[in-house]
Amino acid sequence: MLKSKKLLQQFAKEYANFTPTNFKLKRALVVTKLSRYEFEQQRNPQLSREQLEKKLRDRGTDVEMILYLHNLHKDFEKRVVQSFQDVGCEVKMASRLEFRSSLSKDVMRWADVIVPVGGDGTFLLSAGRASPLFALSQQKTPIVGFNSDPLHSEGRLMLPKHYSDNPADAVARIKSGDFKWMHRSRVRTTFLGNNGEIPESTDLFRHIEVKMEQVTTKPELLDQNMARKYKARMKRVLPYLALNEVFIGEHLSARVSHLQLVLDHQDVVNKTKCSGLCVSTGTGSTSWHTSINRITSRCVEDLLKSLPNSSLPDLSTLLASSEEIAQQYNRNLLFAPDDPRLCYSVREQICVGVWPMPKTFKERDFGQSVFVKSHCLDANLVIDGSIMYPFNDGAKALLEVHPEDALLTIALD
């Protein structure tokens, strides 16, 4: 605990070096979500509006609801744009699909702030493209997100839901400087190998290959200690930083993932067979990390009933509090967005026979770095559920947190 506090203090000092001292809101880039209706239009470009709606109804889709949600988002989007224009801010807009293009680099450099409007998915996309590694720029462009539909979207990464009722209040506070800066740690992924090459990735949103990585990062020689330890000559940093998590596992979810892990460059090689590995940030601890590790009141009850003397009065009291115990346990899974540590979670680890190796290997723990080697047949490394790289037998990756990679966001109460 003392070590983690010192690490947090060290990172806090370094974060200060990346905090703007003369931020002025003059130009805003609004990134809009792709509504379900727009998605269906893009899937069926040959159909007229009437033909598309008939096709959707024929397959049982509630067309009125998706049109309602589409219009709800578009109306809110206009309100956000107008709010920025009302304070004298120049606004440019980019759809979620457009913003995935490498052409967005120039627009990002133009903007004083990036404003995703929609839900957490749109925020994660904006954060990924605001990476200094991706944008080829040391400029830190802050992000502030607006939840366009707080009734149907949790929007944990967005501003508090009351700003969805009146976005002009939030924009006025940002313009006047009445806000706090928040630094959110991100995962840097580095491939290790002997030739410095990285495979082409796949954009999971559009299901197409992304070929820009080969020109945006350069291979580097590993130092002697790292080269000897991980049996590799070269390293290559991926241009995408993970705000939530990096997942590694077999493409076919029913197939066992066979992985080796080294934590914090220790000498112990941990071998596991499981359903995949999730390496999460503090921001991501509210998402997949919690879904993997959370327990229910039923789990608490079953555990308590399995204890000796399970008929004792004190145990009855605990059983009556099973829901409260489960909720407290799940709350304790969360950690701060600016925490410099990673938390890895092994999904459904096989714990029979010789597995895991060694037997003391924990299925969940914190660390500053996680080295992973694949022994999988058809696996992938996936960044924020968005960008996917092949990660098959022999592939090696190092996952780390660096203070200069942190996402700069605007926070309001």
Per-residue pLDDT tens over the stretch 205-226: 765 666 555 456 789 999 999 9
Q: Is the peptide bond before 358 cis (omega within 30 degrees of 0)?
A: yes
What is the mean pLDDT of the segment spanning 155-179?
96
Q: Which residues pair with 203 in a beta bridge?
A: 208, 387
Q: What is the pTM of this model?
A: 0.91
Q: Are 219 and 234 in contact (CB under 8 A)?
A: yes
Q: Which residues pair with 263 in a beta bridge?
A: 370
Q: For tokens 């077999």, name the residue.
A: 250
pLDDT band at 311 (very low <50, low <70, confident <90, very high): low
What is the mean pLDDT of the segment spanning 34-55?
93
At 226-238, the pLDDT tens digits run 999 999 999 999 9
- Axis-axis angle for helices 297-305, 322-331 (nearest 10): 120
Q: Are 26 and 89 in contact (CB under 8 A)?
A: yes
Please tell me the distance from the alpha carbon of residue 369 to that of residue 266, in angstroms, as a whole number.
Answer: 10
Which class is 24-176 in CATH?
Answer: alpha beta
Q: Are 285 and 335 in contact (CB under 8 A)?
A: yes
214 CB-side CA count, 13 A: 9
What is the mean pLDDT of the segment spanning 23-51?
93
The pLDDT score that the predictor gives to residue 103 is: 45
Largest separation between any pair of C-alpha atoms in the chain = 70
Determine which helix (DSSP H) or strand (DSSP E) holds 90, and give its type and residue range.
strand 90-95
Q: Domain map of the chain by residue range? A: 24-176, 187-282+336-404, 292-334
The pLDDT score that the predictor gives to residue 309 is: 73
The pLDDT score that the predictor gives to residue 210 is: 63
The pLDDT score that the predictor gives to residue 102 is: 47
Strand 113-118 to strand 146-147: parallel, antiparallel, or no bridges (unpaired)?
parallel
pLDDT band at 135 (very low <50, low <70, confident <90, very high): low
- CB neighbours of 377 closer than 8 A, spacing ≥ 6? 250, 255, 392, 393
**Lowest-pLDDT range of 57-71, 102-116, 343-357:** 102-116
Distance of CA 129 to the CA centre of its chain: 12
What is the mean pLDDT of the segment spanning 31-42?
91
At residue 107, does pLDDT exceed 60? yes
What is the mean pLDDT of the segment spanning 354-376?
97
At residue 12, does pLDDT exceed 60? yes
The pLDDT score that the predictor gives to residue 394 is: 97
Please tell me the distance from the alpha carbon of residue 235 to that of residue 192, in angstroms, as a whole number.
Answer: 5
Strand runs (DSSP E) across 119-169, as ranges? 146-147
The pLDDT score that the predictor gives to residue 358 is: 96
Is it true that domain 187-282+336-404 has CATH number 1.10.1740.10? no
Please tell me the distance from the alpha carbon of residue 115 to that of residue 95, in angstroms, as a whole number.
Answer: 11
- Average pLDDT across the chain, whole number: 90
